[in-house]
Chain A
């Protein structure tokens, strides 16, 4: 049993590395505008990434959302899926796809640098509110990172009238979706907290980080867009949303 478990762990590392390399290949093909091979490499990456997630579930016995390594690999999978199924590849570069690949590779780079360990399977990891808390958190991170790609590209294409506006609107859509998922995660966390500690709120740096993310998202939606300078700030705040959330996730994961 132990030997088998070691084998699956080795397989996990192989799948993880393989997915990262396939995504890197897809990005390279994207840059040289080889669209069909890019899609094949992306599909291979997605397949390996999905297999890595299955291996994680088999080893740990829980959903791969409970620690930094698990969250990063899951987020990369969601981002790659969103890109493959929702994004149209453009002729000129950079396009939204360019930023998505950069984000996916960033997630993989972080997961390679930091310890590749799975969360120990705690006794309460089958509690629905704990699962939803972490699952929605990963969903929110992915949606907000995806939103950043549109906002960044909208900034790139700001002189291209309608296209820039549509991209920005799509970025806003995914930012709102990320906000909904983040709030759903917060709600699950509050019920968990209420049932586990007798209060829906705890004074800790983790809880304050959640408030920080909430306020940050709130700021992104409350910057006036009537002046050029303000629009620039709005793009900056909204575009950085995913990276701010990622930085906090990394800090929490290492803490």
Chain B
């Protein structure tokens, strides 16, 4: 049992798992760029991955296999992280001398585990409705009796800009901080929230988010009001994730600051330093 635990917490086990993940990731890049799979790969963004994975009509089997393989690799890395952190933690308690950088690195590893869990959680929890096209007064019904209604669109620019490619829209053509859509969130028949969505400034209600992806040209040619394309999503772990991630970065920064001058026993390997 002790031998298995030592193997699972070993650095070479981490190294080989990461090598396997790199190879698997490279395969993913190839799949994402290949003609036959590119569209299917991008369709993974349309719904929450839990549904994409379980619905037989969604996605090719090869893609699903690739995704499951990636998750499996991350789980193995997670097991290694738990065993390694636990062993190092016990050692730190036994030899508690001059080990502040090691505590920091242990903390960073734990945060990394939580970040990875947060990523996985965002794939599996909540919901996601992509590319909802609404005109003024129209609404879209989604989860548990909720619906979102486009009440008003405020658009100050020349509507012809909406027919231009995104990369051609300059700051002079399109004022993303001035154009907005007033939205009303209803549940059953009652209003629960109303807010103003801008490009890159979504509406948030609890863990729910209504994102204004872009404006669409008006349907009538006589200069009617533009419509909108929305994404409605809910990620219950988002806030925690967005707080933990900077702590992980700061932790590495602090560790770097503490060990910058320490060329003694200079090992690049941060885990060895634990």
User: At the interface, yes or no: A40 with Cβ under 8 Å from chain B?
Assistant: no
Residues of B contacting A114 with CB < 8 Å? none
B266 pairs with A168, CB closer than 8 A: yes
B18 pairs with A199, CB closer than 8 A: no
User: At the interface, yes or no: B262 with Cβ under 8 Å from chain A?
Assistant: yes
Residue in contact with B33 in the complex, picked from A127, A191, A195, A205, CB distance below 8 Å = A205
Residues of B contacting A208 with CB < 8 Å? 25, 28-29, 32
Docked pose: A19 CA to B128 CA in angstroms = 50
User: At the interface, yes or no: B12 with Cβ under 8 Å from chain A?
Assistant: yes
Docked pose: A173 CA to B261 CA in angstroms = 9
User: At the interface, yes or no: A238 with Cβ under 8 Å from chain B?
Assistant: yes
CB-nearest residue of chain B relative to A162? B263
User: At the interface, yes or no: A218 with Cβ under 8 Å from chain B?
Assistant: yes
Residues of A contacting B144 with CB < 8 Å? none
Q: A180-B256, A221-B268 are in contact. Are A204 and B42 (CB under 8 A)?
A: yes
Residues of B contacting A205 with CB < 8 Å? 29, 32-33
A194 pairs with B29, CB closer than 8 A: no
Docked pose: A200 CA to B233 CA in angstroms = 11
Docked pose: A11 CA to B22 CA in angstroms = 43
B211 pairs with A197, CB closer than 8 A: yes
A194 pairs with B269, CB closer than 8 A: no
CB-nearest residue of chain B relative to A233? B15
Q: Which of A197, A198, A215 has the most CB of B within 10 A?
A: A198
Q: A123-B175, A225-B267 are in contact. Are A219 and B232 (CB under 8 A)?
A: no
CB-nearest residue of chain B relative to A211? B25
Residues of A contacting B167 with CB < 8 Å? 120, 122
B29 pairs with A199, CB closer than 8 A: no
Residues of A contacting B119 with CB < 8 Å? 201
A215 pairs with B22, CB closer than 8 A: yes
B29 pairs with A212, CB closer than 8 A: yes
A222 pairs with B14, CB closer than 8 A: yes
CB-nearest residue of chain A relative to B253? A180
User: At the interface, yes or no: B200 with Cβ under 8 Å from chain A?
Assistant: yes
A199 pairs with B233, CB closer than 8 A: yes
User: At the interface, yes or no: B114 with Cβ under 8 Å from chain A?
Assistant: no
Chain A interface residue count, Cβ-Cβ cutoff 8 angstroms: 56
User: At the interface, yes or no: A121 with Cβ under 8 Å from chain B?
Assistant: yes
| CB under 8 Å from chain A, chain B span 140-174 | 166-171, 173-174
Chain B interface residue count, Cβ-Cβ cutoff 8 angstroms: 67
Docked pose: A122 CA to B259 CA in angstroms = 41
Give the dominant DSSP class at A's interface.
Answer: helix
CB-nearest residue of chain B relative to A227? B12
B211 pairs with A195, CB closer than 8 A: yes
Residues of B contacting A201 with CB < 8 Å? 119, 122-123
User: At the interface, yes or no: B252 with Cβ under 8 Å from chain A?
Assistant: yes
Docked pose: A118 CA to B109 CA in angstroms = 40
User: At the interface, yes or no: A125 with Cβ under 8 Å from chain B?
Assistant: yes
Docked pose: A120 CA to B165 CA in angstroms = 12
B168 pairs with A120, CB closer than 8 A: yes
User: At the interface, yes or no: B236 with Cβ under 8 Å from chain A?
Assistant: no
Residues of A contacting B21 with CB < 8 Å? 215
Residues of A contacting B207 with CB < 8 Å? none
A200 pairs with B238, CB closer than 8 A: yes
Shortest CB-to-CB span from B197 to chain A, Å, is: 10
Residues of A contacting B263 with CB < 8 Å? 165-166, 169-170
Docked pose: A136 CA to B64 CA in angstroms = 33
CB-nearest residue of chain A relative to B255? A176
B22 pairs with A212, CB closer than 8 A: yes
Residues of B contacting A195 with CB < 8 Å? 200-202, 211
A199 pairs with B128, CB closer than 8 A: yes
Supplied contacts A204-B41, A224-B11, 15 more A-B pairs, CB within 8 Å: A61-B171, A168-B268, A169-B262, A173-B256, A176-B256, A180-B253, A184-B249, A187-B245, A197-B45, A200-B238, A204-B42, A205-B33, A211-B25, A218-B18, A238-B268
| Residues in A lying within 8 Å of B, measured CB to CB | 61, 120-127, 165-166, 168-173, 175-177, 179-180, 183-184, 187, 190-192, 194-205, 208-209, 211-212, 215-216, 218-225, 234, 238
